[in-house]
Each structure stands twice: as structure tokens, then as C-alpha cells.
């Protein structure tokens, strides 16, 4: 079954209530043919388990790494992926779009 935004946010709350460290990633801006709409979520917990998607698989790995950093230092961050970005050629969006993602720890 495809997880809905509702499942994702409920899972984030449930993991947090379990005492796990949790970070939430949200697509805040897209340009061109981005695979997931603005507002899409990905939730990650301390062991790297995650639910949801922000790009349909293209950059999830990099987002999960950023989420681990946000869990560690508690600082929210904005990350960007796209064809104009050097890292995009490595993790990149094959569709040619660009996305900005806000990553925050659930405190």
C-alpha cells in the first residue's frame, strides 16, 4: 500500500512517542518536472528506518543522511537538489527538475 501524508505524520508522532529520535523532511519548493509535489514528506528515525518520499527515490539517500545530521545537531536545514547542482550529477534528479527540501528534528 502507498503511504499517505497522513500515515507519514502519524508514524512520525508514534516513533517520537516511542522515544526514538525522528526527523521530518518536507518538499518546500520545486522547479521543472519534480517527481513529488510541494508539501510531500519523508520521516526518518534514528536507525535509518523511513517512510514516505520526497523525490520518488532519486535523492532519498542524501536526504536520509541530512536527516541524521539534523537529529544529531538539532538544527533545521534547507537542502537543494537539481541539475544545476554539482552533487546532482551524483545523487541527482534524472527528470531534470530541481527541488528544495526542509529537514527538521522532531523535539
Partner 1 sequence: MRADILEGLNAERAGRRAAILVTDIADGTQRLVREADIAGDALAEPLGRHLAAGRSGLIEAGGRTLFLTVQVPPVRLVVVGAVHITQALVPMAAALDLAVTVIDPRTAFASPERFPGVELVADWPEAAFGGAVPPLDRYCALAALTHDPKIDDPALKAALSAECFYIGALGSRKTHAARAVRLIEAGFSEAQMARIRAPIGLAIGAVSPAEIALSVLAQVVAALRRAPREAAS
Instruction: Report the interface residues with partner 1, using CB under 8 A.
Output: 2, 4-6, 9-10, 12-13, 16-17, 24, 26, 28-29, 38-39, 75-76, 78, 102, 104-107
Is residue 30 within 8 A of residue 10, CB to CB? The reply is no
CB 106 to partner 1: min, Å: 5
Nearer CB in complex with partner 1: 17/90: 17
Q: How far, in Å, CA of 78 to CA of 20, rounded?
A: 23
DSSP state of 17: H
Nearer CB in complex with partner 1: 2/84: 2
CB 102 to partner 1: min, Å: 6
Non-local (6+) Cβ contacts of 68 within 8 A are 23, 44, 46, 48
User: Which residue from 22, 75, 84, 32 is spatially nearest to 55, judged by alpha carbons?
Assistant: 32
Residue 77's H or E segment, with its range, is strand 77-82
CB 64 to partner 1: min, Å: 17
CB 89 to partner 1: min, Å: 26
Nearer CB in complex with partner 1: 16/91: 16
Amino acid at each position: 500500500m502507498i503511504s499517505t501524508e497522513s500515515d507519514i505524520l502519524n508514524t512520525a508522532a508514534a516513533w517520537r512517542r516511542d522515544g526514538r529520535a525522528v526527523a521530518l523532511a518536507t518538499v518546500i519548493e520545486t522547479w521543472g518536472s519534480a517527481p513529488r509535489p510541494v508539501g510531500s514528506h519523508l520521516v526518518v528515525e534514528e536507525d535509518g528506518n523511513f517512510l514516505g518520499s520526497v523525490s520518488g527515490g532519486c535523492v532519498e539517500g542524501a536526504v536520509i543522511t541530512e536527516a541524521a545530521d539534523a537529529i544529531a545537531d538539532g538544527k533545521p536545514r534547507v537542502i537543494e537538489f537539481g541539475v544545476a547542482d554539482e552533487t546532482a550529477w551524483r545523487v541527482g534528479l534524472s527528470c531534470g527538475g530541481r527541488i528544495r527540501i526542509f529537514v527538521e528534528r522532531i523535539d
